[in-house]
Amino acid sequence: MRMLSVGLLLCLFHPTSSASTLSPADAVAIDTAVEAITPKVIEWRRHFHQNPELGNREFKTAAKIAEHLKGLGLEVTTGVAHTGVVGLLRGGKPGPVVALRADIDALPVTERTDVPFASKVRTTYNGQEVGVMHACGHDTHTAILMGVAKVLTDMKERIPGTVKFIFQPAEEGPPEGEEGGAELMVREGVLNNPDVEAIFGLHISAGQEVGTIGYRKGGLLASADDYRITVKGKQAHGSRPWSSVDPIVTGAQIINALQTIVSREIPLTQNAAVVTVGSIHGGVRSNIIPEELTMVGTVRALSPDMRLKIHEAIKRKATLIAQSNGAEAIVEIPLTTAYPVTYNDHQLVDEMLPTLQQVAGAANVQIMDALTGAEDFSFYAQKVPGFFFFLGGRPKDVPEEEAAGHHTPDFYIDESGLGLGVRALSRLALDYLQHRADRGTTGE
């Protein structure tokens, strides 16, 4: 048997040993361009923050994004998955296609921060009047990707391949009765024509220190399924409970039993899991035992097998407890949301980690624990290799325990970290394409 050369062995077993094949001139060009565009990125972010729109209703947001991309000369498609915008940048050299994704929707949260660009927007959501706020940082994601589009367009002749910019609506879920988000974008072909080879995305983190990047191979974020349990009983006067089949008592027993799924049926040393009841509705006054009760909640899991096991346990417990009380339980799971585990491709992370370390400094790029939050970036990563990471947004002088959480009225982001986000996504796209050009992989 012939002996493999040392160089070939390194190529086979250490394909990512080189931190980057991007030329020093291109790296400097990106740094210079990012520094120049960052004030504009902050301006865009503040505009979106002050003018938030809920999922599938991001009409003005999408129009501003499309105007920007068209102004750069990109091929622009609008109306994807209702309000999504896709921009295509064809580089000056042949090569594969890489995608970058940002989500653009806000949340039904009333803002409580004192920033001068705080949202005052109100609208109707599922029949209720609500405040609207970018309480999860999607405004920063959108502004960052707009900045990346500018940076890469200005050096398009040096790009060996194509970059697809995906601005996605309804990451937080579409309104009840509608479809939307990444799942619909994938179904409508956003990863095709031309076919995407890999995809990158980031999420701002209010609890992670500004200037840092957090990542993890494999399962990074949990699957997410919402559910509804409807308990049907028999109505009676509150003074004669023996004449009823009480859905409220039955519902209370079901809620208690659901808490034993994680504590008694799931091997928590392997992965975390969550079963939460978030809302209960039943009855209209103190002296009427109602006929029906409904509860809704969420399930989180970090493995597909655990996800299915929890679904089965919810159905079993709710159904049998209701039967034991003479009631009926109807379990709908998933109800409107069904996100897979957000999974980072091991090989892609190994290949691109040196890029993030160069951009942020090795000490500022940290392995993080898996989170029980969810992200519909997972739908893209089911189809093509994906790498999703977290960008620090907590001010350095704010202790982690004092940082307001995501989806809360006091959510706050230090904008000084947005430039790092632009630099990271720009370099990931270019380095990925350049790696393939160096290996002779030209794509289409």
> Cα(53)–Cα(142) distance, rounded to whole angstroms?
13
Do the beta carbons of residue 200 and residue 101 sit within 8 Å?
yes
> Cα(411)–Cα(39) distance, rounded to whole angstroms?
21
Determine the number of helices (DSSP H) and then strands (DSSP E) in the chain: 10, 19
| Rounded (10°) angle between helices 418-438 and 346-360 | 130
Name the catalytic one among 111, 183, 351, 415: 415
Catalytic status, residue 432: no
> Cα(143)–Cα(149) distance, rounded to whole angstroms?
10
Phi, psi at 249, each rounded to 5°: -60, -45
Pure H helices in 51-157: 59-71, 138-153
23: which 2 tokens?
A: 């030329």
Residue 218 CB coordination number (10 Å): 14
Name the catalytic one among 215, 339, 343, 432: 339
Residue 117 CB coordination number (10 Å): 15
Q: Which regions of 184-315 does DSSP assign to beta strands (E)?
A: 198-209, 213-215, 218-221, 223-232, 236-237, 273-282, 288-289, 292-301
The dihedral region occupied by 107, where left means phi > 0, alpha psi between -120 and 50, and beta the remainder, is beta
Do the beta carbons of residue 171 and residue 139 sit within 8 Å?
no
> Cα(201)–Cα(193) distance, rounded to whole angstroms?
20
> Cα(139)–Cα(52) distance, rounded to whole angstroms?
8
Catalytic status, residue 415: yes
Residue 112, amino acid: R
> Cα(430)–Cα(440) distance, rounded to whole angstroms?
15
Among 359, 355, 102, residue whose Cα is nearest residue 212:
359
Place of tokens 């009926």: 328
Place of tokens 């992370």: 349
Do the beta carbons of residue 243 and residue 236 sit within 8 Å?
yes
72: which 2 tokens?
A: 């750069």
Residue 243 CB coordination number (10 Å): 12
59: which 2 tokens?
A: 């009409």
> Cα(393)–Cα(221) distance, rounded to whole angstroms?
18
Residues annotated catalytic, as ranges: 339, 415
